[in-house]
Amino acid sequence: MATFSLDDIRAAADAKYGSTDIQLDEKTTVVLRNPLRLSKDERGDLAGLQDKLDGDNDLDQGDVLADAIRLVAKDKKVAEKLIEQVAGDLAVLASIFETYTKGTQAGEA
């Protein structure tokens, strides 16, 4: 019979459902949490934001993508630094979100 500690299980979950990290500079990294690591309400909010991106063409996609980054970021202040550095560049925001979603697909249930 195999025996595992809770620390073993946590380490396996961290490896499988880890974050997407974006380094801003030598001292600052934005940690975007895997959807499975979000609260139930946060997961619902993220799904709502993704639905907005898929449906309404009249909305400002940059605002929605920035809101999604704020939502999934572990540290909201660091997320704001990232959004400020992107300076409204929709292509960069879309690339960040695409990188995030690709990084989380393998771990989603």
Distance, in Å, from the CA atom of 62 to the CA atom of 55, rounded to the nearest integer, reads 14
pLDDT of amino acid 56: 65
What is the model's pTM?
0.83
What is the pLDDT confidence band of residue 109, given thresholds at 50, 70 and 90?
Answer: very low
106, pLDDT greater than 60: no
**Interval 7-46: pLDDT, tens:** 999 999 988 888 999 999 999 999 999 999 999 999 999 9
**Interval 38-96: pLDDT, tens:** 999 999 999 999 888 887 667 889 999 999 999 999 999 999 999 999 999 999 999 99
With H, G, I as helix, E, B as strand and everything else as coil, classify residue 58: coil
